[in-house]
Structure 1
Amino acid sequence: MGCGNSKVQPEASRKGYVSVVQSLVAFSKVRGDDEPSKQREKRRGLWFSVSLDNSRLASNWQAQLRQGCRRDEAERYKDKFEPRVTARYDIKALIGRGGFSRVVRVEHRATRQPFAIKMMEVEAQEGREVCASELAVLRRVSHGNVIQLIEVFQFPQRVYMVLELATGGELLDRVVSRGHFTERDATQALQMALAGVGYLHDLGITHRDLKPENLLYYHPGPDSRLLVTDFGLATFAATPEVSKPDGSDSGGGTKGDRSWSLRTTCGTPEYMAPEVLLRKPYSCAVDMWSLGVIAYIVLSGSMPFEEDNRARLFRCIVRGKYSFHGNPWQSVSNLAKDFILRLLVLDPAARLTAAQAVRHPWVVTMAASSSMRNLHRSISQNLRQRASRSSSRCPSSAASSGDANAAGWVGKRKSRSSTGAEQLD
């Protein structure tokens, strides 16, 4: 894996896996005066619940400072918001920013209910395309495990999407903060992720950027539902007959149709399926590959495919080269490994579908026959080691990533150009 966790070829993710694991060791320096400001902003007290008291105090102080800065930034963005929007919603804080968008936390003035508003710039053609693509998906979905669009305000220069506000943190945040994590806990999270992804696939929607950062808990409580978020790269599947002459996606497909064929090369490299990297026509099966990678990470704190160089990373992926060596794999059940093996299959036709994956014995029984050993220590150790390696290879990676946002809504570029996949040749 190279420095950072950038997308290929839509713009780099605003919070990659590298920056997630770096937060495990970020407070080894309480004084962060020599750190880039963006790196300091990405720290979260949630990760340091077992830290020393001085680290906890520093975390609280920085959290308050960060919250104040975001409120100040939100005040600046208020001027850009249309009066029709601010008449209904009170702007509270900036959550994140992207190439074409700004995301703010708001409260409905009448009900005081919190939401997120994604403001998208649509003057440029590329911004209009991104917005139209995302709206097409969000307007179709209504499921408990998929982020919900509440309403839309459309103007000539900007579009405002009012969304559910997910405040429970990312999937890996929850894994690390619990202090206790077993295979049963993993199956509970994966059941919800599979329910959301299966619903999308039934609608003919392929997400194309599934990763732990895009799986968010709705609230901090233990009974929170897990939401599939961030549809910046999602698309309706296209059959070969309706694909555009330039090979890009044109949308189409019908419910229950499994002959979908997409062609655009995009996504986050570590989670991209082999057929995407090889520039073959692909289907919603690419999402299932990504879920296999996610399951591997959730159970171990490490990546199945990891190389210093992107070309070598791509070669490992297209060869399906990974193993179950090291901690905590000796303590993980064979059923859990079988679940991953059936998702990380090179042949997409042989890969489990979402409907099949949710019926896998490991998921159905919620790991009833598995060891209830606490995997938390091994997972955390692997995350720390990975953070240390990543920092030594690319110390500026965190600074190059944009500010993450609690709702997971960061704007994406939808470039149709080619990717680094040609390095495989």
Structure 2
Amino acid sequence: ASSSRKSDWVDLRPLSAGALSASQSQSPRPGLYTARHRVTQELAALKVLDRRLLRQRATRRRLRQEVRVLQLARGHQNLLQLHEAKAVGARVELAFELARGGEVMRRLRSERDASRVLQQAAHGLQFLHERGVVHGEVRPEHLLFSDDEPDARVLLAAFGRAAPWRSLTLRCRPKTKGFLWDDVHHVRFVPPFLLRRKNGLKWTEAVAEDEGGRLVTNWREAQQIDVWALGVTLYVMLCGCFPFSGGDGREDNVADIERRVLQEKLTFPEDGTLLSRAARDLLRRLLEKEADAAMSIDEVAAHPWLNGAVAPAVTWSADML
């Protein structure tokens, strides 16, 4: 990242709760803003970080890795673009393409809509995987529309955990507090092969040095991190709930989710939309529990459901969404 005493971005308005706008503070708090370039007048999403956090080696390494991956992603129409990374006084600013259309989940109304979204997300992941990079955080909330037009591009965002697979931030360190998916939301997107390897140890994210046994041992396993998460994302899009969610009405915890993912068969809700045969086939293959039998992202992109074999354009109810 370059360095400057003066920001190129003005008229900051908060996109996240708790952040102060520039009109309230000469030095905006860490957070996410919309901003306007003082010269070109271009609008962008501005991520503001406290520069003091970069004194921590792990934080500094993660930020550098995020910027490197974003530079690799440059030019692909389905990956959120980084315009600029700059240190400005006591903060760091990352200026991103502004996804004016918001999260895709707000605009899904049919199986055809979901197919179009997944097709473009798969194209973005293909671009990363061809370069040996795993995104690591494929989620419904990380798929955005470029604008509000009917033909808006789908953008895959949130590259904070993206990494070349050989330096994935997934190594074991016994007797540490917390682990990468010690969270009810995140654990839903973790592929079974990683859950099996925990073996009672605690796992932490991101160390480049060898501090324990590697969780990810080959490229096929690394790809499944994104492919499995894409399957969970598609299931949420089409069914309105998470796979392996039990349906017993009680609040899930991490242990319950892990047990269900590892032990239960994939089922589809009885109510909700009528899924096409091709959609069910793709979901079963995306949510294949054995890493050796899992789809590659190229196989996902070539699946018939992403290439026209979708259910008739039935409008989903608001309750479904």
Q: CA–CA distance in 2 between the matches of 1:188 and 1:235?
A: 26
Q: SS state of the match for residue 210, structure 1?
A: coil
Q: CA–CA distance in 2 between the matches of 1:236 and 1:206?
A: 6
Q: SS state of the match for residue 152, structure 1?
A: strand
Offset, 1:209:
1.2
Who is 2:319 aligned against? 381
Aligned ranges 1:67-78 → 2 under 5 Å: none
CA displacement 1:108-165 (0-9 Å, x = unmatched): 1222220111122232304323322211211221210001011121357432111101
More helix per residue: 1 or 2?
1
Aligned ranges 1:64-213 → 2 under 5 Å: 83-85=5-7, 88-96=8-16, 101-124=30-53, 125=56, 126-142=58-74, 143-154=76-87, 157-175=90-108, 181-213=109-141
Q: SS state of the match for residue 284, structure 1?
A: helix
| Counterpart check, 1:294 vs 2:226 | no
Q: CA–CA distance in 1 between the matches of 2:223 and 2:169?
A: 18
Who is 2:160 aligned against? 232
Who is 2:249 aligned against? none
Unaligned runs of 5+ in 2: 20-28, 174-178, 198-214, 247-251
Q: CA–CA distance in 2 between the matches of 1:193 and 1:228?
A: 6
Offset, 1:82:
6.5
Letter in 2 for 1:129: R
CA displacement 1:261-280 (0-9 Å, x = unmatched): xxx84481111111222234
Judged with a 3 Å threshold, the aligned counterparts in structure 2 of structure 1 residues 215 and 324 are, in CA distance, closer, same or farther, namely: same
Judged with a 3 Å threshold, the aligned counterparts in structure 2 of structure 1 residues 148 and 244 are, in CA distance, closer, same or farther, namely: closer
CA RMSD between the two structures: 2.7
Offset, 1:97:
6.7
Who is 1:304 aligned against? 243
Aligned ranges 1:344-355 → 2 under 5 Å: 344-355=287-298
Contact 2:6 2:89 in 1 (8 A): no
Q: CA–CA distance in 1 between the matches of 2:230 and 2:80?
A: 18
Equivalent in 186, 197, 216 of residue 144 of structure 2: 216
| Counterpart check, 1:325 vs 2:260 | no
CA displacement 1:268-322 (0-9 Å, x = unmatched): 1111111222234241211101111111111121211325232111111123533
Letter in 1 for 2:16: G
| Counterpart check, 1:357 vs 2:300 | yes
CA displacement 1:18-67 (0-9 Å, x = unmatched): xxxxxxxxxxxxxxxxxxxxxxxxxxxxxxxxxxxxxxxxxxxxxxxxxx
Contact 2:48 2:93 in 1 (8 A): yes
Who is 1:284 aligned against? 223
Q: CA–CA distance in 2 between the matches of 1:315 and 1:296?
A: 19
Task: State the identity %.
Answer: 29
Judged with a 3 Å threshold, the aligned counterparts in structure 2 of structure 1 residues 97 and 233 are, in CA distance, closer, same or farther, namely: farther
Letter in 2 for 1:195: H
Q: CA–CA distance in 1 between the matches of 2:305 and 2:170?
A: 43
Offset, 1:101:
4.0
Letter in 1 for 2:70: L
Letter in 2 for 1:337: R
CA displacement 1:360-393 (0-9 Å, x = unmatched): 11111252xx33322x11xx3245xxxxxxxxxx
Aligned length: 272
More strand per residue: 1 or 2?
2
* TM-score computed with the length of structure 1 as normaliser: 0.59
Who is 1:337 aligned against? 280
Judged with a 3 Å threshold, the aligned counterparts in structure 2 of structure 1 residues 244 and 213 are, in CA distance, closer, same or farther, namely: closer
Letter in 1 for 2:141: E
